[in-house]
Structure 1
Amino acid sequence: MTTLAELARSTYEEYESARPEFEADNFARACEEFLTTARGAAERTLCVDAAALDWTYTPGDQLPEEVEQATALLEPGRPEYLRYRWDHGKEEGYGIELVRPCSACGHDRIDPVNGLLQLGRILAEGSAS
């Protein structure tokens, strides 16, 4: 007959052996949920084409604590990309932003985007300079 202590230990050992896979599955599910949220924000802010871009989850070790981010290139070969950020320490996320990396100075120019017309204006102004 198994004692309560033996049952508790074996339950804990089973949990510990399965935990890495369980945590990986949970992380993958959380990433996919965040990407779905980012695509939804892109569609609401811009259009369905923005949601269809190849959105990727940014690993947490590249961001401030409590911030999640997804990014999508506007077009292959272009440096500009859209990003969607959410700061879990604040009540609302940052929304959609256009990030334009500068190869000359190494700093990114970041502009909030609230619609397709505004995105077009920012891109037109950027190509004129």
Structure 2
Amino acid sequence: MKSKIKIIFLTLTIGLIFIVGFLGYGMYLMEIEDQYGDFQNIHFESKTGDLIINKSTSEFGIIEKTWKRTNIRTKEKDSTDLYFWIYKNGVETKSEVYRPKSETELVGIKYSELLKKIEKSELKFITRN
């Protein structure tokens, strides 16, 4: 009798943990979708240290990620949220994400030099919005 109660209790506990985990993961995905909308693929596919280029404004920056947010670090600004990076003055701009071999090769680089590296395929293309 006691072993049946233990098995039932263990099964219910495992089921409860699974349901809570499933709901928690769903809430996490909803929060990312609410924050980034149609360009949530940039959040999910990029990594810390990737390079993001705003083709419309000719700006670029380094991606810094936490588990809930994606921030862009540029020479001019310490940190900007991905949402505000893509939407400039309420207008959606076009951005692309590239992965460099090392972050140190981007120190002191200019936009024109960056475009040359992309043309030479020195940076791996990841995604765009």
Fold equivalence (TM over 0.5): no
Using structure 1 for the length normalisation, give the TM-score: 0.38
